[in-house]
């Protein structure tokens, strides 16, 4: 990621004057356990970079002193947007960390995203404690429910004030984080001390300044099973084609990683690589040549491929304002069939779209570990009064990232990177289908 001239300073609600209860647990190891408030890591770890001028990110972790008194702190948790493996793990981690490590006894879950704050929708608030969340990480989805779409931040802050909530944890993608930032700004305008901390959720792995989003590893691992099925179907038919559409509106990360994990994919199409009529024609020629040589092929396509090429004049949007995509998978299926029919080549195409199955499964162990660490560090940060920030890993270290930076730009697959080069080597597809 190119180093931009941005400010990575984390906003705080005020001076930390309350001794952390964690000091009693660690005893003589306190100096090693707690993070110095000035500890930071470089944004750019490239050895050729001038580190004297490189921006830095604040390290996450427990601090010796808190802003909020655990005895009087009230916490709210909300999940927004589409499902993602690990949502329940994060909820559970937040509750367990706040309850057992800090002694917070008032934790509330808001139902169905930001709608849950608005009285007119009539959604009950759930009281959360260790018993309520003890086994939720064993199932997919979110026990709080979710929704898309903006809600009035003034009404949300009204509800937070009425309930005396000091900390709000928001689990969601870039649209959700924008909403969280608006909530924090409204609270600040009212001089209300509410820490708003985000845990970024994007199954596409496209939020900036974070190594990897929770649920991503589970997502591409689950996608591998669909590719294996597509490969078996393709080999079982003369000129069989297994076509798998995977998630990835603007980023082809899942498609790339699932491709590399199987080594059965012959063509991988991602949004970052141009797609138009000429590319499509080149792809169809390359597909035909593959079938002539090997009599089967596996194609993986990310959902965001070719949308500017496919979109009609009448564009539609969902409740969050996201453009509703035309199904590139069905389009490719039809185009491949028409092309092969015109060439007089017998074939069979099996189209697989596992998206809703992938995003609703429980997190796999590596993701569960990551979710737990995100939750722990989110609670550490919030109890210190840090706000308008998200937690994530950067260069393998847990860090705090300002919300404004996290949503400033999407993280995409660099088609000049070693990741994409590895995909090209694995699939043996042309670098440019126009050639």
Q: Tell me, what's the pLDDT at 294? A: 97
List, in sequence order, every residue forming a beta bridge with 351; answer none if it has no partner: 243
Least confident of 51-60, 115-124, 207-216: 51-60
Instruction: Identify any residues that bridge with 394 across adjacent strands, giving them in sequence order.
Output: 397
> Average of pLDDT values for 78-99?
97
In angstroms, rounded to a whole number, what is the distance separating the alpha carbons of residues 374 and 119? 30
Q: Helices marked H in 106-215 — which ranges? A: 130-133, 153-163, 174-189
% of the chain residues with pLDDT over 70:
94
Q: Residue range 55-81: average pLDDT? A: 96
For residues 149-157, average pLDDT = 93
**Share above pLDDT 90 across residues of the chain, in percent, rounded to a whole number:** 84
Question: How far is the C-alpha of 301 from the C-alpha of 244, rounded, in Å?
Answer: 6
Q: What is the pLDDT of residue 396?
A: 93
Q: What pLDDT sits at residue 213?
A: 94
Is the per-residue pLDDT at 50 higher than 80?
no
Read off the pLDDT of residues 92-136 as tens digits, 9 standing for 90 and up: 999 999 999 999 999 999 999 999 999 999 999 999 999 999 999
- Tell me the domain boundaries of the chain: 11-214+362-406, 216-360+415-427
Question: Tens of pLDDT along 365-406?
Answer: 999 999 999 999 999 999 999 999 999 999 999 999 999 999
Provide the mean pLDDT of the chain: 93
* Residue 1, pLDDT above cutoff 70: no
Q: Looking at residue 318, what is its pLDDT? A: 61
DSSP string, 334-359: HHHHHHHHHTT---EEEEE--HHHHH
Annotation marks residue 204 as catalytic: yes
CATH of span 216-360+415-427: 3.40.50.460
CA distance 8 to 389: 10
pLDDT at 51 (0 to 100): 58
pLDDT of 435 reads 62
Q: Do domains 11-214+362-406 and 216-360+415-427 have the same CATH topology?
A: yes
Residue 16 clears pLDDT 50, i.e. is over it: yes
Q: Which residues contact 412 (CB under 8 A, 6 or more apart)?
A: 206, 250, 251, 252, 271, 272
Q: Which of 204, 211, 278, 432 is catalytic?
A: 204
pTM of the model: 0.93
| Alpha carbons 379 and 373: distance in angstroms, whole number | 10
Domain 11-214+362-406 in this protein, CATH class: alpha beta
């Amino acid at each position: 990621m190119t180093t931009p001239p941005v400010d990575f300073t984390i906003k705080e609600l005020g001076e930390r004057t309350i001794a952390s209860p964690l000091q009693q647990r660690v005893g003589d190891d306190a100096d090693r356990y707690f993070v110095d408030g000035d500890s930071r890591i470089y944004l750019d770890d490239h050895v050729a970079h001038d580190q004297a001028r490189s921006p830095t990110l604040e390290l996450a972790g427990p601090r010796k002193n808190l802003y909020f008194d655990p005895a009087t702190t009230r916490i709210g948790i909300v999940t927004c947007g589409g499902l993602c493996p690990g949502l329940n793990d994060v909820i559970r981690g937040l509750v367990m960390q706040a309850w057992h490590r800090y002694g917070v006894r008032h934790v509330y879950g808001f139902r169905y995203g930001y709608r849950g704050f608005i009285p007119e929708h009539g959604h009950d608030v759930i009281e959360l404690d260790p018993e309520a969340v003890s086994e939720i990480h064993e199932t997919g989805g979110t026990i709080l429910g979710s929704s898309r779409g903006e809600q009035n931040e003034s009404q949300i802050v009204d509800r937070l004030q009425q309930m005396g909530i000091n900390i709000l944890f928001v689990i969601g993608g870039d649209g959700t984080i924008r909403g969280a930032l608006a909530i924090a700004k409204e609270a600040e305008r009212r001089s209300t001390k509410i820490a708003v901390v985000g845990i970024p959720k994007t199954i596409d792995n496209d939020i900036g300044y974070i190594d990897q989003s929770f649920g991503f590893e589970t997502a591409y691992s689950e996608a591998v099973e669909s590719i294996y099925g597509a490969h078996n179907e393709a080999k079982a038919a003369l000129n069989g084609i297994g076509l798998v559409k995977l998630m990835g509106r603007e980023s082809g990360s899942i498609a790339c990683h699932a491709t590399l994990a199987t080594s059965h994919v012959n063509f991988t199409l991602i949004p970052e690589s141009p797609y138009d009529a000429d590319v499509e024609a080149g792809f169809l020629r390359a597909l035909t040549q593959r079938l002539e040589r090997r009599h089967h092929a596996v194609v993986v396509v990310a959902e965001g491929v070719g949308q500017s090429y496919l979109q009609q004049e009448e564009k539609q949007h969902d409740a969050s304002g996201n453009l509703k995509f035309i199904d590139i998978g069905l389009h490719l299926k039809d185009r491949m069939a028409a092309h092969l029919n015109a060439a007089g080549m017998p074939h069979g195409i099996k189209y697989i779209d596992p998206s809703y199955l992938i995003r609703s499964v429980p997190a796999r162990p590596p993701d569960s570990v990551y979710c737990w660490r995100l939750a722990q560090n989110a609670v550490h940060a919030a109890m210190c009064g840090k706000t308008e920030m998200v937690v994530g890993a950067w260069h393998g270290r847990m860090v705090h990232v300002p919300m404004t930076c996290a949503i400033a730009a999407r993280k995409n697959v660099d088609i000049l990177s070693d990741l994409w080069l590895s995909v090209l080597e694995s699939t043996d597809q042309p670098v440019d289908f126009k050639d």
